[in-house]
Amino acid sequence: MTASLAQRLAKVLRADVMGLHGYAVQPSAGMVKVDTMENPFSLPPALQQALGERLGRVALNRYPAERGDVLKAELARHAQMPEGCDIMLGNGSDELISLLTLACDVPGNVVLAPLPGFVMYELSARLQGLKFVGVPTTPRFELDGPAMLAAVREHQPALVWLAYPNNPTANLWDDDIIDAIIEAAPGLVVMDEAYQPFASRDSLARLQRHEHVLLMRTMSKFGLAGVRIGYLIGRQAVIAEVDKLRPPFNISVLNAEAALFALEHVEEYEAQAAVIRSERARLMAELQALDGVEPFPSEANMILARVPDAAKVFAGMKARGVLIKNVSGLHPLLARCLRITVGTPEENTQMLAALRAALQDL
């Protein structure tokens, strides 16, 4: 960057934006990629061909319109949306997080979430100029109920984020504590269920009981990470307000059609999720048997594990062609922790071999 361009940007861009680090995506060509919580399975060839033919018939010369409404209806049915609620689509959950935060951008408002947690909650709040309050979990990554309730009383947050299961820790939190937080919250509470296909519990009942609770899910973990479809369910009055901020054509016709195709073949994705849950159990048992490795309970398609030296183990596995996520620097509670996505059976076997070899190098 030239000095003149740097001066120009300093005049017109926000200083806090210029000071940020962009979201880093690790190069993964030729690697066993188990770092970003993707569904590792592709569609069978026959379904690939059927999807390709269907997408080929989409009117790319037209703006998205009715198909988005059809997708909303199908997702509402798939998610068993309660009466009195409505649904809103986002370009992934990230857009929905940004729009909800923007909707709550009132001077003095506070956004609150447990930490460690999904980084976009805090980032979106700070970019909107809102105060973010992060409440540390316990050392075992459980919700600290007294601390959370004290923070709610003190800060009176407009927006509370509760990921269920949580990222990057992969656990489901205590339901009694969650319900107490919801009862105490003066504003909106969002249950972020990105990993719901792999979890044993969900929050549909909370959505029915509480008019200030919103449910956010995504099709990324369902098996469509490349399609970028998130959805938000809440009371009609709440969704109507937030939806005013949504760009009118935020979901492309190709994305909508691919999502509709997936919902028509939901049994294929449910079978994939079943394999991932089975492989998660296998990985957990294998990791527990390794000296120096402490895996934490998981209800997602990933496992958080503490190792003797996260940086060295990460580098050793990468050198052996396996890409995981080193999360040890994201929060003090994550010291020496790695996050491992559950892959295919073959990928998981390769990952375990690389992990064992990297541990032997220490």
For every residue of 93-124, DSSP letters joined together read HHHHHHHHHHHT--TT-EEEEEES--HHHHHH
CA 13 to chain centre: 29
Q: Taking a C-beta distance cutoff of 8 angstroms, is the pair 192, 202 a contact?
A: no
| Tokens, residue 294 | 């402490």
Total residues found in the chain within this entry: 362
Angle at 296 between CA 270 and CA 267, to 5 degrees: 0
Cα separation, 310 vs 295, whole angstroms: 13
Contacts of 360 by beta carbon, 8 Å cutoff, 6+ apart? none
Angle at 342 between CA 336 and CA 343, to 5 degrees: 125
Q: Taking a C-beta distance cutoff of 8 angstroms, is the pair 147, 115 a contact?
A: no
User: Which CATH architecture describes the domain 3-45+267-360?
Assistant: Alpha-Beta Complex (3.90)
Q: Taking a C-beta distance cutoff of 8 angstroms, is the pair 234, 85 a contact?
A: yes
Cα separation, 332 vs 1, whole angstroms: 35
- The pLDDT assigned to 223 comes to 86
Cα separation, 147 vs 165, whole angstroms: 20
- The pLDDT assigned to 177 comes to 97
CA 107 to chain centre: 28
Q: For the chain, where are the E strands, in sequence order?
A: 32-33, 85-90, 110-115, 131-136, 159-163, 188-192, 213-218, 230-235, 294-295, 302-306, 322-323, 325-326, 337-341
Nearest to 279 by CA among 292, 307, 298: 298
Cβ-based neighbour number of residue 324 at 10 Å: 28
Give 215's Cβ-side CA count (13 Å radius): 25
Contacts of 219 by beta carbon, 8 Å cutoff, 6+ apart? 227, 229, 230, 231, 259, 262
Cα separation, 306 vs 334, whole angstroms: 8
pTM exceeds 0.75 for this model:
yes
What is the DSSP-derived secondary structure letter of residue 234? E
- The pLDDT assigned to 235 comes to 97
Orientation angle between helical segments 66-78 and 253-264, nearest 10 degrees: 30
Cα separation, 353 vs 310, whole angstroms: 16
- The pLDDT assigned to 8 comes to 86
| Tokens, residue 268 | 């294929």
- The pLDDT assigned to 26 comes to 77
Cα separation, 183 vs 14, whole angstroms: 37
Domain boundaries along the sequence of the chain:
3-45+267-360, 63-264
- The pLDDT assigned to 213 comes to 98
Show the low-confidence residues of the chain (pLDDT under 70).
22-24
- The pLDDT assigned to 319 comes to 96
Question: 63-264 has which fold?
Answer: Aspartate Aminotransferase; domain 2 (3.40.640)
Note the pLDDT tens digit of each residue in 92-105.
999 999 999 999 99
| Tokens, residue 29 | 């060509």
- The pLDDT assigned to 6 comes to 85
